[in-house]
Copies of this chain bind each other. A is one copy, B any other.
Amino acid sequence: MNKIDTDFLPTLVAHIVAHARAHGDKAPSERELAEHFAVSRGQVRESLSILESMQIIERRAKSGIYLKPDVAGLDSMALFARAGVPLLPRQIFEAVELRKIHEIKAAELAALRATDDNHSRLRDILDQSAAQLAKGEGLFRLDGAFHLEIVRATQNEMFFKMCQSFYAAAEQRHAVYFRKPERSAKSHSEHLQIFDALIARDAILAQALMNSHLGGAQSYWTELLDEQKAANPLIPPVG
């Protein structure tokens, strides 16, 4: 029973969100949370202080804990994803847009700066992807790995960490996306093209290829969100 379980935070978030939805943004009290999860109040307070630092909740002295309605940070998004809390369409749109901005530039920089090590890591991922496709399985994790490896090749650690959060937050959605086999195949062939551009150190081409590669994904999400909006104009207020 060492330390607090690493997935206690997501569980806590899920619980708080569920409760807050039904009680006007108000979360259960610290004492209630402690009892519910069978831990001490101290443990709960530690976790809550993290959530507060992420701007997910607000603690009003002597009043209660309130779920903030406008979560937009990178880390908090990833946490919500792990907690299984759906994001607002607006948040997905913003995240997809940001991801595109980042990765297009990453492709350019990667073409210029990638080391042999970066190249071989990318090649490995592509090989695994090919094998996966041959077995009739979707890409999913390998897709994310490929994209992140490109960001790593920019040699900018901060860049890499930021993009990691994007993928952490989008994991579930990507899993859904890659359920259709033809998407995996298309993605893979585009990855191969991008890889060639990186090897050739053609920054312009790499950038352009990444642009169209991600453009497909972006329009996919845009259309999906439009459909959802049309089908259900009442958007649930999701932190």
Contact = CB atoms under 8 A, between A and B. Distances in A.
Given A61-B3, A156-B97, A161 B73 contact: yes
Q: How many chain copies?
A: 2
A70 interface: yes
Interface residues of A, number: 34
A200 interface: no
Nearest to A77: B158
B47 A45 contact: no
Contact of A72 (B98, B105, B158): B158
Contacts of A160: 72
B75 A159 contact: no
Interface string A71-110: 0111101000000000000110011011001100100000
Nearest to A54: B53
B75 A75 contact: yes
Interface of A: 2-3, 42, 45-47, 49-50, 53-54, 59, 61, 70, 72-75, 77, 90-91, 94-95, 97-98, 101-102, 105, 156-162
Closest A-B pairs by Cβ, 4 of them? A94-B158, A46-B49, A72-B157, A50-B53
